[in-house]
Amino acid sequence: MTRLHPRLPHWTAHPGFGVAVLLVLAVVLIAHGEPQPSSRPSGTSVGVSGTATAAGAIPPLLVLRPGRVELREHGSTRRIGLPSGARPRSVISGRGLSVVLAVLGERQHAYAIDANHAVHDLGYADGAIRAETGSAAVIVETALTDPGLITAPDVLPEPGRTSSVTTAGGTGGRTSGSEQVRPSPTPTEQPALRNFSARRYDGAARPLGSVVELPPATRLATDSSVGLVVWQPANRVFDAGVALEPLSAAATLIRPDGSLRPLGPVHPLAANTRDLLVWDVVGRRFGLMPLSYVTSTATSTASPLHSPTDDASASGRSSRSATPSPTPTAVAGVRWFQPTRGMIVVTGPASFNADGTAFAVYAQVGSRRRLVVAELTNLGTDQVEVLALVRAAPQTSAPPSPSAVITPGSVSGSGTPTKSPSPTATPSIPALEPDGFPIPAPLTPMWWNDLVVAVGVDGAVIGYRPGGHQSSQLDLGMIGIRALAAAP
């Protein structure tokens, strides 16, 4: 009996067929938020395996859910009393004080929550970071003009209500919900960078010192033991009026005496007691700058060839090909990881674990939000870990054991690893402000001792120990979680 062998069409033998297959594969991977296969190998993709039940190791948490902030403590949950109508967007925690950025009426406010869980309105705010020096707990950032003004892509309607955003030339840039937003730029618009100020607050939400005006066109990045670090986008990119990540960045240190030191063309992300973590926008790599170099006057750093303020003359450029070329990055004293692949936007701020041996930061990979984690022992390599922030695959046999717990330093749970999001996931691309800065209310990864905890776009809470092969979904007994932070 003759066995019939299926024959492929003759055109499959053409060399172009193999190239076409690779192109189709690249398109499929990009559509699912994965790096192109032609990019250099970089990092480790970490999937989600099973669900871990929260145990007593969970610290008191502030949890942002649609339209409210809740305190989860000792297994119970209660609501924090923000003003009526305030819609929270992000939360950060300092030493004994937390700050929630929330939209109320037409502007964004900073609401401080102290150790007694009392709420203090600190006024209009455009950003907030954790303070690292002196008796300060947090630092609040405010624009000198139009403070707290929110941008059109970032309007969060109240649950159950939709709001329509009008653009320039409409009804004054107002939504149906009466929120005033900055009109979306036209394809030929390149808005001027605004100026900002910063003020420190202690654990009782009392202002410390005087208001500090940041250098022109810069914004807060991180605080450090040697001073406040700010940054600005350089060589801004607009595509049909939508602000994309700039082609470069410029970082500056504001010393305690008010003097300035340029740190070079990098985007600063976080600082610990020894190092400043930076992102090289041009080279697509993470680096560590020792604080001894950051404050030194004996070392020099390269500066961008183009000032961001020069970009105003470049109005009319609406595509990547029409923008200035990126500036090569040369920063004194930085130890670099090898270049990464597939990361479109690294939003910042980042966070270090307690002993400063690892960091975590949210990033956009393709069209998906991911968490990037790296151990400092891997400096000089490309070993960064990219976590899929999606729900675990459904159990096909038995449900998770009640004894499955997640504690600092360990991740447990069972199930099949998966990279596919749940059907309820709504992947989104982080919107950049027309100013050219990252999203105005970003998330900050939090640490429970050696465990990093992150939130996905569909509310999944993922726990992961750096260096592991799998992460686990953490069941907090709540749904609709948008952000987490340690309670004051």
* Structural domain for 404, as ranges: 43-81+341-488
Q: What is the pLDDT of residue 323?
A: 45
Torsion sign over Cα 122, 133, 251, 249: negative
Query: Is residue 401 one of the residues assigned to a domain?
Result: yes
Question: Has residue 416 been placed in a domain?
Answer: yes
pLDDT of residue 31: 47
Condensed to tens digits (0 to 9), the pLDDT of residues 373-403 reads 999 999 999 899 999 888 876 544 434 333 3
Residue 58 lies in a domain: yes
Does an H or E element contain 29, and which? helix 15-31
Q: How far is CA 307 from the centre of its chain?
A: 25
Cβ atoms of 370 and 288 closer than 8 Å = no
Indicate whether 210 belongs to any domain.
Answer: no
**Structure confidence at residue 211 (pLDDT):** 96
State in Å, rounded, how far the first CA of the chain is from the last one. 79
Residue 200 placed within a domain: no
Tokens of 322: 């029409």
Mean pLDDT (the chain, rounded):
76
The whole-angstrom separation of Cα 473 and Cα 406 is 9
Q: Is residue 408 part of a domain?
A: yes
Per-residue pLDDT, 369: 85
Spatial contact of 420 and 368, defined as CB atoms under 8 Å apart: no
Question: In 259-342, which ranges are E strands?
Answer: 260-264, 267-271, 275-280, 285-290, 335-336
| Token reading at 190 | 């390149």
Higher pLDDT, 374 or 10: 374
Q: What percent of the chain has pLDDT over 70?
A: 67
The residue that leads in pLDDT, 219 or 46, is 219
**119 Cβ partners below 8 Å, 6+ apart?**
80, 81, 82, 83, 111, 112, 113
What pLDDT shows up at residue 191?
79
- CA distances to 91, 112, 114, 128 from 202, in Å: 16, 10, 10, 13
Helices (H) and strands (E) in the chain, counts: 2, 35
Kindly report, residue by residue over 242-285, the tens digit of the pLDDT: 778 888 899 999 999 999 999 999 999 999 999 999 999 999 99
User: CA-to-CA distance for 201 and 210, rounded, in angstroms?
Assistant: 11
In a domain? residue 435: yes
* CA 223 – CA 351 distance, rounded (Å): 12
Q: Please state the domain count of the chain.
A: 1
For residue 329, is it within any domain?
no
pLDDT class of 157 with cuts at 50, 70, 90:
very low
How much helix, strand and coil, in percent to the nearest 5, is found in the chain? 10, 40, 55
How is residue 197 annotated by DSSP? E
